[in-house]
């Protein structure tokens, strides 16, 4: 399998994360996975979605009723008929990806098993395996040449772990997965070592030890094409080699320094050695000692099982004492003893060990699956070597209710033995609103089903998503299958979740949550009826809107998102934490207009230019054309209007489009060929005419120096595939725009080559026009046309009326709507050809179609592993919200599975604004004022004076100024009723007002939102 065979429609988002070479390596790899409980099925699901060659799932256990609370591919019938868990799951796993072979095995696997069968696999994963078996398999895997990669993991109650051993020498080809950094240079000194300074004090982002290569350096040409290990001096400068040698001539100008990805070797130690000398990843600095304690505790759990042939009983204090004692004894075997063995933590490990907390299986399943993919591809930095996590905070109310941990023989037992009966019932009665049913939404619904959220008669999960399912969704939105394509996401996801847990109550909607639906659908009453809200969104604007609605209605919100291997989780709780809107994302700096138009420096500039050209040519101008001819009368009437001297917006452009409009396929090809000449030949010649290569600035420096690149005219060559791609894709889009039929034969290169020689291409004639060079200049809102141009349009329209039948078809076009995911429409073909031809013109490195599609389509890279991990972590916080946890128990999280890095932190409390001494408010505060039909503005203002001791200085309703004392006539409003001033609609019971108050220094102080109730 090579990169051409990778199904782009299925794997497009993942390819942006892993790249083609890693995808190919995965597609040649086989994995053996033992243990098909909650964790095992999560790992299996994620690596099947990723696209490995084959997966063998192994298990010797039969399905039990408690498995239904963690293993989402088991059903009631599997339990009733006593099916093996692997054999029961294999069919549903295989449905996830047609390119992956999934097999089941139920053969015995123990300490006496001959492991030679494992030689056919590149990675072995063990879950729910004894420590003795793990040690034996790890030893076997290390003995092979090359070593088989070994990964193990487990979830015991509210604790989980992961271990990796990839052998003595494991090559990592790309440690971060980030695009290589590239910076423009301003200066290189002749020194030992030479110091490189970045252009315009732009930060380079390099680290000491990075390897960089140079190109386009003028003067110190010897640097070009060479690579150097650097030492970072500052964010704007770094040193390289000794540049005092004669071959390094003095630097003049230009140059680009580019980071080089260098493979690195990582050595792993065996499981046997790591047991007593564990290398632990700390993820929560508020629990610095927890990983070492849990390491001892899980080692002790295996010893407990060996001695008693069972796990500790739920809530049993005697078993807990035995486990603590075992852990203390094992501490003596550690090379470095654990100083602070937390007996309380070990006690909860014992109490919940027979349970399995489904959110943890989701989180650890995503993490562990990512380590498997690293093992197969060498992409990203592997975990070295242990990761432990816990969510013991969900047990906070169980100290005096240990009996509630006892199993009852139903599907909720695994969760019951972790959080107790009371919290289980609260989850079942939950009313939850989730916005978005895509990747995170699917994972969350699966988690809700396993946790029994809204499974009681009074519970309800309301979900909404206005999107339909596309093929590219199937790679990470695992509730969807090929036969669901073009069906609504929300209804399909709801139906799939009910297959996991038929007791679920789900109400699927297909609406956007936005101001348009605020009044009738998602109003205050709706939000107030929810216990909490969950974001499963993919854009900042929607997140901010949901955040504002939750703050306004004082509802908890769980916010999360992913980008490739990165993810975040934010817990937002009324009056306890800040909100999503409390922090601002870094501002994206727009590329200067003159850079995009005339002076691109990097491929992103040419892609943006091509995308803008697409919108202008095929959407904006045609839409203006349609509007102009449909609103201004017939062409004859328009001609008379223009002759009369009247101005008509869009006249010059619309008449020009009408004149050049193609009527046949040959016309489309001719116009496309002319546009090629204009964009990639004449444009370059005009720039060089205006600014010759030797043009100097006022300070004597050359105009054409880095980052400005002098263009080179591109001469059309019909043997060049890129030139042909531009003409073909441009012609296709023009034909679609003008409703011109096109045959398959028309689109062949042979047919195109017959037409090209017949096309007359205009010669270049230089123009005396101003070319914008000011980087602060903005793009003109609309083109301005001179009187001569309007006059010319009148003449053209007169001619066209004489020569052509200007009927309704001629005066209408079919504007294109950019669609990145339909490869048959030619949109990405046009942008790729357009961008790369412009890049060629400016000597910029060209981009392949995949990269062009990602940038032009503003595609967010995505991979199933990150999504699963993030959704699991959100679900843990959901349980804490339902529990009513204190602030110190909640956790926000940032993770980057590529590194791997996970950072848990306590959410920040809401910022307090002091209005006066003794009175402060936060974003969660809201003042209610209750009036009646006779309640006047004067009484409204008096309320604040009496209640809070403030003089109100302004009252605003939306954009309407209700009362501003300095405004003429406003003081006369004081005796008027609030009803008359605000004029509420018949349905309105209250309005939200903005009120400001006079502070002690005379300055206006904004108060919290004021909700005024009419009580009509």
Task: Report whether pLDDT(288) > 60.
Answer: yes
Task: Report whether pLDDT(811) > 80.
Answer: yes
pLDDT tens digits, one per residue of 485-503: 999 999 999 999 999 999 9
> Which pLDDT belongs to residue 5?
61
Find, among 946, 930, 912, the residue nearest to 989 by Cα. 930
pLDDT tens digits, one per residue of 919-929: 889 999 999 99
pLDDT tens digits, one per residue of 145-155: 999 999 999 99
> Which pLDDT belongs to residue 793?
87
Find, among 427, 466, 465, the residue nearest to 449 by Cα. 427
Task: Report whether pLDDT(203) > 60.
Answer: yes
The DSSP line for 301-335 is HHHHHHHHSSPPPTT-HHHHHHHHHHHHHHHTTSS
pLDDT tens digits, one per residue of 604-635: 999 999 999 999 999 999 999 999 999 998 89
Q: Which residues are catalytic?
A: 594
Instruction: Map 290-305 to HEC letters.
Output: HHHHHHHHHHHHHHHH
Q: How far apart are CA 974 and CA 972, in angstroms?
A: 6
- Topology of the domain comprising 429-564+860-884: Rossmann fold (3.40.50)
Q: How far is CA 23 from the centre of its chain?
A: 20
Q: Is 913-1013 the same fold as 182-260?
A: no
Strands (E), 442-525: 460-464, 506-509
Banded pLDDT at 1 (limits 50, 70, 90): very low
Task: Specify the CATH number for 3-172; select among 3.90.230.10, 3.40.190.10, 3.40.640.10, 3.40.50.720.
Answer: 3.40.50.720
Higher pLDDT, 83 or 791: 83
On whether the 182-260 domain is CATH 2.40.30.180, my answer is yes
Q: Which of 556-570, 626-640, 660-674, 898-912 has the lowest mean pLDDT?
A: 626-640
**How is the chain split into domains, by residue range?**
3-172, 182-260, 429-564+860-884, 598-681+697-761+786-856, 913-1013
Residues 447 and 359: beta-carbon distance below 8 Å:
yes
Task: Report whether pLDDT(170) > 80.
Answer: yes
Share of the chain above pLDDT 90, in %: 83
> Which pLDDT belongs to residue 588?
61
The pLDDT of 966-970, averaged and rounded, is 90
Bridge partners, residue 225, by sequence: none
pLDDT tens digits, one per residue of 457-478: 999 999 999 999 998 889 889 9
Banded pLDDT at 998 (limits 50, 70, 90): confident
pLDDT tens digits, one per residue of 316-369: 999 999 999 999 999 999 999 999 899 999 999 999 999 999 999 999 999 999
> Which pLDDT belongs to residue 1016?
63
Secondary structure (3-state) at 649:
coil
> Which pLDDT belongs to residue 587?
59
Q: How far is CA 99 from the centre of its chain?
A: 25
Bridge partners, residue 153, by sequence: 127, 162
- What architecture (CATH level 2) is domain 598-681+697-761+786-856? Orthogonal Bundle (1.10)
Q: Which of 1-10, 117-126, 292-301 has the lowest mean pLDDT?
A: 1-10
Banded pLDDT at 787 (limits 50, 70, 90): low
Q: How far is CA 716 from the centre of its chain?
A: 40
Task: Report whether pLDDT(839) > 70.
Answer: yes
Task: Report whether pLDDT(406) > 80.
Answer: yes
pLDDT tens digits, one per residue of 441-451: 999 999 999 99
- Topology of the domain comprising 913-1013: 3.10.290
Average pLDDT over the chain reads 94
The pLDDT of 891-896, averaged and rounded, is 98
Higher pLDDT, 806 or 241: 241
- CA distances to 31, 568, 908 from 583, rounded to whole Å, are 43, 14, 10
Distant-in-sequence, close-in-space partners of 465: CB < 8 Å, separation ≥ 6? 435, 436, 437, 438, 441, 488, 489, 490, 493, 509, 510
First to last CA, the chain: 72
> Which pLDDT belongs to residue 255?
95
Q: Which of 80-89, 499-508, 922-931 has the lowest mean pLDDT?
A: 922-931
């Amino acid at each position: 399998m090579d990169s051409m065979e990778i199904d782009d429609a299925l794997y497009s988002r993942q390819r942006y994360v892993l790249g083609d070479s890693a995808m190919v390596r995965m597609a040649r790899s086989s994995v053996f996975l033992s243990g098909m409980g909650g964790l095992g099925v999560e790992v299996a699901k994620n690596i099947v979605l990723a696209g490995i060659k084959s997966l063998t799932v192994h298990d010797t256990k039969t399905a039990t009723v408690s498995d239904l609370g963690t293993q989402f591919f088991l059903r009631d019938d599997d339990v009733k008929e006593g099916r093996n868990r692997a054999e029961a799951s294999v069919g549903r796993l295989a449905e996830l990806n047609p390119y992956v072979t999934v097999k089941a095995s139920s053969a015995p696997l123990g300490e006496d098993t001959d492991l030679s069968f494992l030689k056919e696999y590149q990675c072995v994963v063990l879950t729910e395996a004894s420590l003795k078996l793990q040690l034996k398999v790890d030893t076997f895997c290390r003995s092979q040449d090359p070593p088989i990669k070994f990964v193990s993991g487990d979830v015991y109650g509210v604790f989980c772990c992961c271990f990796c051993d990839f052998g003595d020498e494991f090559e990592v080809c790309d440690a971060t997965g980030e695009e290589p950094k590239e910076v423009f240079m301003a200066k290189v000194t002749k020194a030992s070592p030479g110091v490189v300074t970045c252009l315009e004090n732009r930060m380079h982002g390099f680290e000491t030890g990075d390897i960089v290569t140079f190109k386009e350096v003028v003067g110190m040409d010897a640097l070009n094409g060479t690579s150097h290990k650097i030492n970072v001096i500052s964010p704007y400068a770094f040193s390289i080699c000794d540049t005092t040698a004669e071959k390094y001539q003095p630097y003049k100008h230009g140059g680009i320094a580019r980071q080089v990805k260098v493979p690195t070797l990582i050595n792993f130690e065996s499981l046997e050695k790591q047991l007593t000398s564990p290398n632990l990843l700390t993820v929560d600095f508020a629990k610095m000692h927890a990983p070492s304690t849990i390491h001892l505790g899980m080692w002790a759990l295996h010893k407990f099982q060996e001695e008693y042939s069972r796990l500790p009983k739920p809530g049993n204090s005697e078993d807990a004492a035995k486990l603590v004692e075992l852990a203390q004894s094992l501490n003596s075997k550690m090379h470095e003893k654990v100083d602070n063995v937390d007996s309380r933590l070990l006690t909860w490990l014992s109490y919940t060990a027979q349970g399995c907390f489904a959110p943890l299986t989701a989180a650890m399943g995503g993490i562990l699956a990512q380590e498997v993919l690293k093992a197969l591809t060498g992409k990203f930095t592997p975990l070295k070597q242990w990761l432990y996590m816990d969510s013991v905070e969900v047990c906070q109310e169980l100290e005096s209710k240990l009996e509630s941990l006892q199993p009852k023989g139903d599907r909720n037992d695994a969760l019951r033995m972790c959080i107790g009966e009371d919290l289980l019932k609260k989850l079942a009665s939950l009313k939850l609103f989730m916005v978005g049913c895509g990747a995170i939404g699917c994972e969350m619904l699966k988690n809700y089903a396993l946790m029994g959220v809204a499974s009681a008669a009074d519970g309800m999960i309301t979900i909404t998503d206005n999107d339909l399912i596309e093929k590219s969704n199937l790679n990470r939105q695992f509730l969807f299958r090929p036969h669901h394509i073009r069906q609504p996401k929300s209804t399909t996801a709801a139906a799939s979740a009910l297959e996991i847990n038929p007791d679920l109550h789900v109400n699927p909607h297909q609406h956007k949550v936005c101001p348009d639906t605020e009044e009738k659908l998602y109003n205050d009453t709706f939000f107030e009826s929810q216990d909490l809200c969950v974001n499963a969104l993919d854009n900042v604007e929607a997140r901010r809107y949901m955040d504002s609605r939750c703050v306004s209605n004082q509802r908890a919100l769980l916010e999360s998102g992913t980008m490739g291997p990165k993810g975040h989780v934010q817990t937002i709780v009324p009056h306890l934490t800040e909100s999503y809107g409390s922090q601002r994302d870094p501002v994206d700096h727009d590329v200067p207009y003159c850079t995009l138009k005339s002076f691109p420096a990097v491929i992103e500039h040419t892609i943006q230019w091509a995308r803008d050209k697409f919108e202008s040519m095929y959407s904006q101008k045609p839409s203006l054309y349609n509007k102009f001819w449909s609103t201004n009368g017939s062409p004859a009437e328009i001609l008379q209007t223009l002759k009369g001297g009247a101005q008509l917006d869009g006249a010059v452009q619309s008449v020009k489009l009408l004149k050049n409009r193609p009527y046949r396929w040959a016309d489309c090809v001719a116009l496309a060929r002319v546009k090629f000449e204009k964009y990639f030949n004449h444009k370059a010649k005009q720039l060089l005419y205006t600014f010759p290569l030797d043009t100097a600035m006022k300070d004597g420096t050359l105009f054409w120096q880095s980052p400005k690149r002098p263009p080179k005219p591109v001469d059309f060559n019909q043997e060049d595939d890129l030139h042909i791609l531009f003409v073909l894709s441009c012609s296709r889009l023009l034909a679609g725009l003008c409703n011109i039929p096109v045959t398959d034969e028309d689109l062949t290169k042979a047919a195109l080559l017959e037409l090209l020689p017949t096309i007359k291409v205009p010669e270049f004639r230089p123009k005396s026009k101003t070319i914008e060079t000011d980087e602060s200049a903005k793009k003109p809102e609309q083109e301005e046309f001179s009187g001569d141009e309007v006059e010319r349009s009148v003449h053209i329209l007169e001619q066209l009326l004489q020569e052509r039948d200007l009927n309704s078809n001629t005066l209408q076009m079919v504007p294109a709507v950019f669609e990145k995911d339909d490869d048959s429409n030619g949109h990405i073909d046009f942008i790729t050809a357009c961008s790369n031809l412009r890049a060629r013109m400016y000597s910029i490195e060209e981009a392949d179609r995949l990269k062009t599609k990602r940038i032009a389509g503003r595609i967010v890279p995505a991979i199933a592993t990150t999504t699963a991990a993030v959704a699991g972590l959100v679900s843990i916080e959901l349980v804490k919200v339902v529990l009513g946890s204190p602030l110190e128990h909640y956790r926000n999280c940032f993770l980057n599975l590529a590194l791997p890095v996970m950072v848990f932190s306590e959410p920040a409390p809401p910022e307090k604004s002091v209005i006066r001494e003794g009175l402060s408010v936060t974003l969660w505060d809201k003042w209610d004022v209750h009036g009646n039909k006779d309640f006047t503005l004067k009484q409204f203002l008096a309320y604040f004076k009496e209640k809070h001791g403030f003089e109100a200085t302004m009252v605003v309703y939306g954009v309407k100024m209700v009362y501003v004392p300095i405004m003429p006539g406003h003081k006369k409003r004081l005796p008027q009723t609030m009803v008359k001033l605000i004029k509420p609609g018949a349905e309105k019971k209250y309005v939200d007002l903005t009120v400001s108050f006079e502070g002690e220094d005379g300055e206006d102080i904004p108060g919290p939102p004021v909700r005024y109730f009419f009580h009509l």
